[in-house]
Amino acid sequence: MAAFNEFTSMKDMAQFSFYNNKQHGNSEIETNDISRNSNDHVPLCSINDVQLRFLVPDDLSEVRTLCQDWFPIDYPLSWYEDITSSSRFFSLAAVYNLAIIGLIVAEIKPYRSLNKEDRGILPDGLGKTADIGYILSLGVHRKHRRNGIGSLLLDSLINHLTTAERQSVKAIFLHVLTTNEPAILFYEKRRFTLHSFLPYYYHIRGKGQRDGFTYCTDHLRHYASKLCWIGEIFKWLVMRVRQAIRWICHKTVSRFNFAP
């Protein structure tokens, strides 16, 4: 599990891309759903061949095997039991030919309950009563990467968090290894921005402690703002239609009143 010893705030990094205009070799640790090697995937016939479903307790063994292959972190058995059975988690699997090939696990947390290192994602006034989505895990089987599975899973989570019943959710955040270049680029393309640097945040299997980043996106608020903007446009259109109807009625009545 992740270990945290120290926190360094980096609010001025909102527009900063850690890998922009910088050349890197292969990351020491790779934990995300995007493969660096274009030959390390098997193209699907169609994204429509992939089915999405929520995890069930019978998936525990398969999910545990996949996560041990994808991620360099040793999760306890209780974590797998929770994500495959508890309604607290949004645990969605991508299934192809009856096998799980992708997985996203997230939860909704009260913003006020976040750890110190994750504060500041929302303005103080908004954060008092707001909730926030937290992505615990996102991975895709290496044979099926670069087929849009990660994007499909992330879009499903965003759609889940932007329903009318979850208006209190104002943003999404996640943690990622600083060495995980493909994951960072993937999230940056999806409008996630760097929020903070977390020294020694991860305890990596066989490698000790490694640094992490917090990435977040406020495009749920952007989505809500867009809905408000659409609502204002709709109100304006309704007002104009009513004015037009009143004008037509007035002209019609006037015509009958003054007809010879």
Give the Cα separation of 248 and 14 in Å (integer).
53
Active-site residue 201, yes or no? no
pLDDT in the model for residue 239: 76
Give the angle 209-215-217 at the CA atoms, nearest 5°. 165
Active-site residue 175, yes or no? yes
Which among 41, 141, 175, 219 is annotated as catalytic? 175
| Res 36 pLDDT > 60 | no
pLDDT in the model for residue 31: 40
**Residue 185: how many CB atoms within 10 A of its CB?**
16
Is the CB of residue 94 less than 8 Å from the CB of residue 103?
A: yes
Residues 47-217: name the CATH superfamily. Gcn5-related N-acetyltransferase (GNAT) (3.40.630.30)
Q: What is the 3-state secondary structure (H, E, C) of 186-213?
A: HHHHCCCEEEEEEEEEEEECCCEEEEEE
Which among 111, 134, 187, 201 is annotated as catalytic? 134
Nearest to 142 by CA among 60, 38, 56, 232: 38
Give the angle 139-144-145 at the CA atoms, nearest 5°. 60
pLDDT in the model for residue 21: 43
Give the Cα separation of 226 and 220 in Å (integer).
10
Least confident of 23-32, 64-73, 99-108, 204-213: 23-32
Domain boundaries, the chain: 47-217, 220-251
Structure confidence by residue, pLDDT tens digits, 205-247: 888 999 999 999 875 655 444 444 455 566 667 777 877 787 7
Structure confidence by residue, pLDDT tens digits, 119-152: 888 887 776 789 999 999 999 999 998 899 999 9
Nearest to 207 by CA among 83, 24, 4, 29: 29
pLDDT in the model for residue 126: 75
Whether the model clears a pTM of 0.75, i.e. scores above it, the answer is: no
